[in-house]
Structures are given as structure tokens and as C-alpha cells.
Amino acid sequence: MSKLFNEHRNFICKRCGVKKSKSPLYKDGMCDTCNNICHAEKFRAELDSISPDIGEKHFVYALNVHIDDYTTPILTEDYILIKIDDDIRKHLSNLLDIVGLDVKQDVTVHSKYLLATNFHLNFERVECHLHNRFSTSCEFSRSAIFGLQTGYADWSFRHKSVSNILVVTLEGIEEILIFQSFEKITGDDTDVQFILNLLEETEGCLFRGINNHYHHDDGIAASIYRNNKDLVECGKLQDHEKEITEKLIEFDSRTPEKPTISALTDLRHHGKDTCLLDFSEDLKIALFFSCQPTTDNSAMIGEVLVLRKSKYEQKEEDFLIEPAKTEVTRNRVEAQKSVFLYCYQGYLPRETTQEKVRNLLIAPQLKSWFYNYCEYTDETVFPDFYAFISNPANFITVAKRECQEN
């Protein structure tokens, strides 16, 4: 039986003619070595069909942008930039077939340019910089959607198929070449200075920090909209919120001048779902929240929403609310310099936010620097009893540690 099994495993490689044993990766009648050689040859042929010069660079990136001042292919010592035409698109599709990219269709359809360099670019930083540099609203396009390491026929990608493509310039393309992986971030970093300069030009604005940027499909959504899809589908968001606030008002018999606003303030400041979006008059508070770790400690893009205050001072469907300084939340409201935006639909529709709100993206690699720049801590941002009892570190004492050690 063993002999028959071994005979079934043995074969003659059709490329090198040597008798081999089948490996788990056996395919196409070739041994692993010949398969790798054949794979590399096919890969190189398709790469050369796009442009022989591109294959001389270590990395190729497909960009999902429009370049406003592009006229002809650019070949320099630092980079090569080629617009994707129908012929190149066909070879790019074949190339992605060879490397087995599972989003081949989207990459092939949405890519506009190929950028070849010897630099291993950091995708998050490229995306964030291009957005911050060229977008003036909350529209966000995943710009670098595909990266190919030519020497190893290896690939990696970040991709989200969206229609709002950024319009950039050749200067912007040259700027992203400095955003390489594994660089050390300092206060002199180009992107750090760029973001700080933008934020200095935000007089008369309010700020909201989000530690995990999400694509605003419908608009900028409050927690009640994000977390209650059933209520959204039934059109019951307002009824749900009203019932909860009435319960709270009845429960603690509060008698402030504006009981509904005070109830909403307390609920929102303690993480309960409402139609309120938290903003702050202090930019550093927003940066503090945008640089917080995510619940699973993954490295996610942070975000600072910048709201033009004057655009929402008229009390229409969406309007600003001064938080009530209740006994429960007074310290937090004052420490965080809070202002609320009430969203009638549970979110700010994208079509109404033009010229009213824009966002700046904080790449994961920059979060540590900006967190230190804020000079805020949990103790200063959440200076109340509820924050104290929710922090396990406050209940680790010297006496407890000594007992555990003994």
C-alpha cells in the first residue's frame, strides 16, 4: 500500500524533466521550483507589457485619484508615473490574476494611475495626506488601493470602492514619496506640521475627535443612528430618544430650567445613544479623543471633524446646543469645553455638510505624537466620580500588591 501511495505521489516535471514528489502546492505538472520560475516569468512579462521602466523600480502602486496637471508619462530617478489606458488596464488585470488578488475587479476598474518607486510607501499616511491636502469636506477616497513589490511578485492593498475621487496635483504625488514605512515621527515631520498649520486656520470652529475613522456613507452619524439600524429602518429614532429622556426626568425628578437638554447631556456624556454629536471648543480635546486606542487596540486612522460654528447657529433641523451643567456632568462639560450638535435625523446628511464641516485624518503613525502634543490625560478630561470608579487602576493599592507578592 505504501509503495502504491509513493508511486502516486511521484511525477516527472514537464519543465525540467526531473522525477519529483508532489508537494501540497503541486499544480500544472511542474515541481515547486519550476512553478515559481514560471510564475515569475509570467509576472515579468505582464509587467514589461505595461512598461519596461516600471519593472526596474522595487514597488508599483495603483492610485485612485485624478491628477489635475498630468499631461504625459513622467520618468525620473525617484519615480515613474503613467496614466492607465485601456491597454495598460488589460495588462494590469492579467498581472492581478497572476498574483491572485481577490479584489482584482475593483482595482482594475478604479485605478487611474500607476506610480513606480523604490520606496515602500506607508498606505495610511499616503491616504491621509492626500485627503488633508486636497479635500475640503468630509468626502474621503481611499487613494492608494494597490501596492506591488516587483522583486518578489508580492502584493498588499488597502481598498474601498468609492465614487468621490480626489483631484490632486503632481506636487501632491511627489509629496507622498516621503511617507515611507517605519519612519520615526517627530514634531518636524512634514505631515505633523501640515496638519498643525491647517488647524491653526480654524477660528470660529468646533472640533470632534474620533479614534476610528469610518467612511460617512450617509453622513456624519450620531451614536443612536450608528447603533440602532432597526430604529432607523422604522423611523423611530426620535420616539426612542424621547421615551428614554422622559424616563430619566421622571426617575430623578430633575428640576432644571431645561430638563430635556440636561437629560440628553447626562446621557451623552456617559456614552448612551442620543441624536447629539459631541464637539469641543478646544482643538486639543478633539485631538485627545482622535488619538485614543480602539477597543481592540488595532492601528486605525483617527479623525478630527472641524465644524464651522456659524453654519449651525440658526436653529433649523440641525442646531447647536449648550450642554446643561448638571451635578452629574458639570466637571466633564467644563473640562472638555463641550458643545453639542443636535442631529434631527440622527446624522448630518452629506449633501448638507458642504462648506459646513470638513475633516482631517490622523494616520496611526502620528497618533502618539499628537497625543503627547495635547497634554491631556484621562484624569483631566474625565474629572468626576464616575470616571474614577470605572478605572481599575484606581483600585490597585500598595497594600493589595504587597499581599499578592507575599
Q: What is the pLDDT of residue 208?
A: 92
Give me 352's grid cell.
448638507
| pLDDT tens string 227-259 | 888 988 888 888 998 898 888 888 876 556 667
Give the C-alpha separation, 303 to 361, whole Å: 5
Q: What is the pLDDT of residue 43?
A: 80
Compute how many other C-beta atoms are within 10 angstroms of the C-beta atom of residue 304. 26
Q: What crossing angle do the helices spanning 237-252 and 259-269 adopt, rounded to 10°?
A: 100
Place 4 in a pLDDT band, splitting at 50, 70 and 90.
Answer: very low
**HSE-up of residue 205 (Cα within 13 Å, Cβ side):** 21
Q: What is the pLDDT of residue 1?
A: 43
Place 45 in a pLDDT band, splitting at 50, 70 and 90.
Answer: confident
* 20 or 65, which is more confident: 65
First to last CA, the chain: 63
| pLDDT tens string 360-402 | 889 888 999 999 998 898 888 887 766 676 777 777 777 777 7
Instruction: Supply the pTM of this predicted model.
Output: 0.77
The alpha carbon dihedral of 224, 297, 365, 100 has a sign of: negative
Q: Where are the CATH 3.30.70 domain residues in the chain?
A: 34-178
For residues 350-363, average pLDDT = 79
Helix extents (H) in 210-276: 223-226, 229-234, 237-252, 259-269
Give the C-alpha separation, 224 to 349, whole Å: 15
Q: What angle do CA 259, 383, 358 make, to 5 degrees?
A: 75
Of the chain, the percentage scoring pLDDT greater than 90 comes to 13
* 398 or 221, which is more confident: 221
Domain 34-178 has CATH 2.60.120: no
Give the C-alpha separation, 154 to 405, whole Å: 50
Sequence-distant (≥ 6) Cβ neighbours of residue 16 within 8 angstroms: 30, 31, 33, 34
Residue 373 exposed, middle or buried by CB count within 10 Å (0-12, 13-18, 19+): middle
Contact 376, 332 (CB under 8 A): no
Give me 280's grid cell.
469641543
Q: What is the DSSP letter of 166?
A: -
| pLDDT tens string 128-185 | 888 888 887 666 555 555 666 665 555 555 555 455 578 899 999 998 888 776 567 7
Q: What is the DSSP letter of 227?
A: S
CA distance to 226, 239, 258, 285, 307, per residue, from 310 (Å): 26, 29, 23, 20, 9
Give me 332's grid cell.
466633564
Q: What is the pLDDT of residue 246?
A: 86
Give me 193's grid cell.
506640521
For residues 27-50, average pLDDT = 79
Give me 177's grid cell.
514619496
Averaged pLDDT of the chain? 80
Amino acid (one-letter) located at 127:
E
Q: What is the DSSP letter of 23?
A: P
Q: What is the DSSP letter of 202?
A: -
Amino acid (one-letter) located at 357:
V
Q: Which of 313, 381, 360 is nearest to 341 (CA)?
A: 313
Helix extents (H) in 22-83: 32-50
Contact 127, 142 (CB under 8 A): yes
Give the C-alpha separation, 209 to 302, whole Å: 8
Q: What is the DSSP letter of 64?
A: -
| pLDDT tens string 80-105 | 999 999 999 888 888 877 776 666 67
Give the H or E element holding residue 380. helix 378-381
Place 3 in a pLDDT band, splitting at 50, 70 and 90.
Answer: very low
